[in-house]
Amino acid sequence: MAANNSDSIQEELGEGGVGVKHEAEEEAEGAPSSAAQATATTMLPRSSSRPQLDLSGAAIHGTLEDRNPTILLPNQSDDISHLALDIGGSLIKLVYFSRHAELSTEDKRKISTKRRLGMFNGGRRSYPILGGRLHFVKFETGKLNECLDFISSKQLLRGVVSGVDSPSWRSGAQPDNIVIKATGGGAYKYADLFKERLGVSLEKEDEMDCLVSGANFLLKAIRHEAFTHMDGHKEYVQIDQNDLFPFLLVNVGSGVSIIKVDGHGKFQRVSGTNVGGGTYWGLGRLMTKCKSFDELLELSQRGDNSTIDMLVGDIYGGLDYSKIGLSASTIASSFGKTISENKELSDYRPEDISLSLLRMISYNIGQISYLNALRYGLKRIFFGGFFIRGHAYTMDTISFAVNFWSKGEAQAMFLRHEGFLGALGAFMSYEKHGLDDLRVHHLVERFPMGAPYVGGKIHGPPLGDLNAKISWMEKFVQKGTQIIAPVPMGVPATTGMGGFERPTSKGDILRSDASAALNVGVLHLVPTLDVFPLLEDPKTYEPNTIDLDQDEFKYWFKVLSDHLPDLVDKAVASEGGTDDAERRGDAFVHAFSAHLARLMEEPAAYGKFGLANLLELREECLREFQFVDAYISIKQRENEASLAVLPDLLMELDTMNEEARLLALIEGVLAANIFDWGSRACVELYHKGTIIEIYRMSRKKMQRPWRIDDFDMFKKRMLTDRKDQPYKRALLFVDNSGADVVLGMLPLARELLRHGTEVVLVANSLPALNDVTANELPEIIAEASKHCGILRKAAEAGGLLVDAMAGIQDDLKDAPESVPLMVVENGCGSPCIDFRQVSSELAAAAKDADLLILEGMGRALHTNLNARFKCDALKLAMVKNQRLAEKLFNGNIYDCICKFEPIS
Ligand SMILES: CC(C)(COP(=O)(O)O)[C@@H](O)C(=O)NCCC(=O)O
Ligand SMILES: [Mn+2]
């Protein structure tokens, strides 16, 4: 039976603790020193893959009372590379790309590591675009001027190519030479206006071509793009790239196009119908006086179509027509009831009219689509176009029709970027931009603050200007409940038509498009992210260990909400505790809480969401409000304190024999993993002792067997079975700063180096809680190297000590060549790691690795506990959460996990 550390750890610190306040805690409560501040800003450059847009001067147009205020961003200064348009009958869809700032100059360490890893001339495709964001914006065609203003005010033409195939990424071409890609009928109709107003020519792209290439791109490059929607339940569909074609693509715009897609560029428009979104909007506008499509759609939510539609029951005196399987509530004839009643239009409720119209048109589209799928023997139908708008009833109705008539054989699927297929296709048609070769892991979806809180109309990308963002947040706080609360709806009594039963939608949880707008974030193009090559099977790999079902989500919602006050205190202090920092802190709390509330209401709102995503979302929100590194001073304090005792620890270890030392090293890693500022229980412990006291106590409690204890197996591999064949290269995924890395992982790295194993320390690219980052490691290693020849030689060999050791006397000149110690960044800014998206540096380092050591709860328990690799893997962590310990191991908080998974 595994030992239970929990009581003893609490007791030891509760009673035995000397009552000295944790040093880092003191620092965190006050403003950090200016030195700490300076380091915070100089040591941690913003990630090249996650830049901030400079959108100063952004203004919300309209009053605080507006539900959907227009936002104009006049001084957009990003280097916009491409812009493409789909000008439809009702809406103009605009897709544009903003390129990231130049990558910062590589430092010596990185260059040296890359050389060593053979990363130069690595044969990687080089993208003309190094990284950036794809933005999605829409305008009503009737308000074309707004679109033109938007393009010119945001200088979207600055980087557009002149001469389509020779992109000039930087300079603005003379307006007369500018050509932009456009599709849809408006590309013809409004060509002169574009020339006149903006001086640009529209290069027309075939609409069907664009729809298909847009859909193919989305299905290929975005992980959770397609989903089913039945009975109010949304489920993301994993698309197998090798089994995508053929499918039916139904684009429901003003009219409807039905296209059979057989491959990239291989398709045929097989049918269509003139009864589409334009019909709904046009008839609806005439009949209800609604001012916008969204208003009409929202009206339908409160409608009851039985007052307008003729039902089977109306004909059969309230009875079913059971002989042909029609229940009394089936719609026999849309709008049929109105012929027998002596009523005027004004006698009908606009809500009911809107719902009858919506049902009529959705069923019709579903039915025609099904018939075409039947015609060609297709099982999958993807629906796109702005008619759908993420509207639950529309999707349910279409799905119901497809399912009913095909008797479950065919499946209706929807796309999150449904309205932008044509515009994306036009965008893709620019040649040589390199986007055609993107894969799922190259696009990361983020949810910057601008995106979540718009009710459909944001004219521009997410707010990049901090002030605008905060005002937006403050505004959101006032409007928040309105936006995030479920839309109250009555369950309509009847819906079917021509043989359809009504969908059994859970009416009260369905919602309008207002918040479905959330589902489209901004796609970040991150061409440097790779699939980790040592994953045994990337296709079946699932990073998250536990499923965030409703219950689980509720629990983590509470954990993260409870942690917020403490986190925001630290974050504000890390930025000097100024008024500005306070204001940003408030905005951060509201933003993160709003995301949590949104997810609580609809867990699938942002695609398939696991605990790793939730923890990353918190970090993203902090970054969104420019909290660069909330735990910076805590990390520095803990590093200093740990480095001070490292020489003693190393000396003690060196007195042991190999076996005892290996055990002490693994114990050391597990014990030091207690320094985790993301765990509530641990943070409470820190009040009860100094860093060193807690570390000593934690070590003392390391009784074996641990909850999972494969140490003997690991020891056998290291010291007995293949002692003469040491591992060639070990990747050590390090976790927290301070004792965790200094007293835990570094001594273990040293031991591996001693065995002749090259060691690559893999650390976060961006800060997350108190995790150590790749930028911070070289300095820590340089400090540690002052007291340890093994580390020093290896660090020198790994190019880590370029300048840091200047002035230190060289007593190792004659020592033999050492295997190198290197540092690479993992590409993440989260406490967890998703091995489908890692930095190219890490992917290159993995090439010759035959041992992985994953450390910490985030990387080895929340994610990757069940991940299988192509080489030996050792997973080490202390479980610092009672519920997780019970759930995963039937154990207790502070249990330790040492899981060794050799490949043979
Ligand atoms: C955020 C963490 C995954 C970090 O753990 P680590 O990887 O540093 O070991 C962990 O602290 C955690 O799951 N915390 C939340 C649960 C809690 O407060 O108990
Ligand atoms: Mn951590």
Q: Which ligand is nearest to the CA of 674?
A: 1
- Ligand 1 atom with the smallest distance to the CA of 877 is 9
Is the predicted ipTM greater than 0.95, yes or no?
Answer: yes
- Residues β-bridged to residue 471: none
- Determine if ligand 1 sits within 6 Å of the CB of residue 881: yes
pLDDT at 540: 92
- Predicted confidence at residue 814, as pLDDT, reads 59
Please give the DSSP secondary-structure letter assigned to residue 97: E
Does 441 fall in a domain? yes
Q: What does the pLDDT read at residue 334? A: 94
Q: Is residue 10 part of a domain?
A: no
> Is the CB of 637 within 6 Å of ligand 1?
no
**Residue 285 and residue 338 in one domain:** yes
Distances (CA, A) of 685 to 11, 18, 75, 447, 703: 10, 12, 49, 34, 19
Which residue has the CA at smallest separation from atom 18 of ligand 1? 679
Per-state percent for the chain, helix, strand, coil, to nearest 5: 45, 15, 40
H helix or E strand, kind and range, residue 712 = helix 711-715
The residue contributing the CA closest to ligand 1 atom 14 is 679
What was the pLDDT predicted at 27? 35
Question: Closest Cα to atom 8, ligand 1: which residue?
Answer: 676
Backbone angles phi, psi at 709, to 5 degrees: -135, 90
The low-confidence residues of the chain, meaning pLDDT below 70, are 1-81, 98-133, 154-156, 158-176, 320-321, 324-327, 431-528, 605, 802-816
Residue 17: inside a domain, yes or no?
no
Identify the residue whose C-alpha is closest to ligand 1 atom 15.
679
**Does 310 contact ligand 1 (Cβ within 6 A)?**
no
Contact 873, 854 (CB under 8 A): yes
Q: Is 423 found in the same domain as 393?
A: no
Question: Among the atoms of ligand 1, which is closest to the Cα of residue 673?
Answer: 9
Judge whether 281 lies within some domain. Answer: yes
Evaluate: CB of 680 within 6 angstroms of ligand 1.
Answer: yes
Token pair 């790999």 is at which residue?
541
Give the ligand at the shortest distance from the Cα of 877.
Answer: 1
- Distance (angstroms) between ligand 2 centre and the Cα of 545 equals 17
Tell me, yes or no, whether 867 lies in a domain.
yes
- Give the ligand at the shortest distance from the Cα of 631: 2
C-alpha 636 – ligand 1 centre gap (Å): 20
**Closest ligand 1 atom, residue 615 Cα:** 1
Dihedral sign, CA of 800, 804, 806, 809? negative
Please report, as a single letter, which amino acid is at residue 197.
R
Distance of alpha carbon 138 from alpha carbon 460, whole angstroms? 9
Indicate the DSSP class of residue 869: B
Q: Which of 354, 307, 351 is nearest to 331 (CA)?
A: 307
- CA 887, 891, 892, 893 dihedral sign is negative
What Cα–Cα distance (Å) separates residue 803 from each residue in 71, 117, 122, 498, 673? 49, 21, 27, 79, 30
Is the CB–ligand 1 distance for residue 764 below 6 Å?
Answer: no
Is the minimum distance from the CB of 619 to ligand 1 under 6 angstroms? Answer: no
The closest of 218, 196, 131 to 416, measured between CA atoms, is 218
Statement to judge: residues 759 and 853 lie in one domain? yes
Q: How far is the CA of 736 from the centre of ligand 2 (A)?
A: 5
* Closest ligand, as measured to the CA of 763: 2
Residues 747 and 678 in one domain: yes
Query: Cα(751) to centroid of ligand 2, in Å?
Result: 23
Ligand 1 atom closest to the Cα of residue 878 is 9
Residues 407 and 479 grouped into a single domain = no
What is the atom index within ligand 1 of the atom nearest the CA of 770? Answer: 8
Integer Cα distance of 424 and 674 in angstroms: 48
Range of the domain at 822: 632-901
Phi, then psi, of 65 in degrees rounded to 5? -80, -15
Question: Would you give the DSSP letter of residue 512?
Answer: -
- Give, for ligand 1, the residue of 554, 676, 879, 896 to mutate: max count of ligand atoms closer than 8 Å to Cβ: 676
Residue 540 lies in a domain: no
Kindly give the distance from the C-alpha atom of residue 836 to the centroid of ligand 2, in angstroms, as a whole number: 20
The reply to whether ligand 1 has any atom less than 6 angstroms from the CB of 707 is: no
DSSP single-letter state for residue 718: I
DSSP letters for 263-292: ETTEEEEEEEES-SHHHHHHHHHHHH--SS
Q: Dihedrals φ, ψ of 131, to 5°?
A: 155, 155
What letter would DSSP give residue 819? -
Last residue of some domain: 496, 524, 552? 524
Cα(880) to centroid of ligand 1, in Å? 7
Domain identity same for 820 and 808? yes
For residue 387, give the CATH number of its domain. 3.30.420.40
Q: Using CB atoms within 10 A of its CB, is residue 10 exposed (0-12), middle (13-18) or buried (19+)?
A: middle
Inter-CA distances, 747 with 666, 744, 784, 899, Å = 9, 6, 10, 19
Q: Which atom of ligand 1 is nearest to the CA of 880?
A: 19
CA 766 to chain centre: 15
Asked if residue 450 has its Cβ within 6 Å of ligand 1, the reply is no
Q: Which atom of ligand 1 is nearest the CA belonging to 676?
A: 8
Residue 270 shares a structural domain with residue 399: yes
If one residue of 561, 673, 679 were mutated to test the ligand 1 pocket, choosing by the most ligand atoms within 8 A of its CB, it would be: 679
Q: What strand order describes the sheet that includes 91-99? A: 201-204, 179-183, 79-87, 91-99, 132-140, 522-525, 443-446
The alpha carbon dihedral of 319, 324, 329, 331 has a sign of negative
Smallest CA-to-CA distance from 334 within 358, 361, 310, 316 is with: 310
> Looking at the structure, do residues 198 and 276 belong to the same domain, yes or no?
no
Q: Measure 676 CA to ligand 1 centroid, in angstroms.
A: 7
Task: Give the residue carrying structure tokens 């400079």.
Answer: 54
Give yes or no for residue 615 CB within 6 A of ligand 1: yes
In a domain, 396, yes or no: yes
Side chain identity at 103, as an amino acid letter?
A: L
Task: Pick the last residue of a domain from 427, 456, 484.
Answer: 484
* Ligand 1 near 559 CB (within 6 A): yes
Q: Nearest C-alpha to atom 16 of ligand 1 is from which residue?
A: 679
Spatial contact of 568 and 483, defined as CB atoms under 8 Å apart: no
Question: What domain count does the chain have?
Answer: 3
Please say whether the dihedral angle defined by the alpha carbons of residues 367, 372, 377 and 378, taken in this order, is positive or negative: negative
Phi-psi region of 385 (alpha: psi -120 to 50; beta: other; left: phi over 0): left
Q: Are residues 202 and 108 in the same domain?
A: yes
Q: Same domain for 643 and 739?
A: yes
857 Cα to the center of ligand 1, angstroms: 6
Q: Are residues 887 and 791 in the same domain?
A: yes
- Determine the distance separating the centroid of ligand 1 and the alpha carbon of 858, expressed in angstroms: 6
Q: Would you say residue 555 lies in a domain?
A: no
pLDDT at 72: 29
Q: Does ligand 1 lie within 6 Å of residue 858's CB atom? A: yes
- Among 641, 324, 623, 310, smallest CA distance to 462 is for 623
830 lines ligand 1 (CB under 6 A): no
Residue 674, exposed/middle/buried by CB under 10 A (0-12, 13-18, 19+)?
buried
Cβ atoms of residues 492 and 484 within 8 Å: no
At 174 the pLDDT is 54
Report the separation in Å between the CA atom of 757 and the middle of ligand 1, taken as the mean of its atom positions.
Answer: 30
How many CA atoms within 13 Å lie on the side-chain side of 374? 14
Question: Ligand 1 within 6 A of 642 CB?
Answer: no
Query: Cβ(233) to ligand 1 under 6 A?
Result: no
Cα(899) to ligand 1 centroid in Å equals: 19
Of the residues 474, 500, 524, which one is the last residue of a structural domain? 524
* Pair 494, 478 in one domain: no
The DSSP line for 543-611 is -BSS---HHHHHHHHHHHHHHHHHHHHHHHHHTTT-HHHHHHHHHHHHHHHHHHHHHHH-TTBTBS--H
Q: How many Å apart are CA 667 and CA 646, to the nearest integer? A: 15
Closest CA to 578 of 513, 536, 627: 627
Ligand 2: distance of its center to the CA of 647 in Å? 24
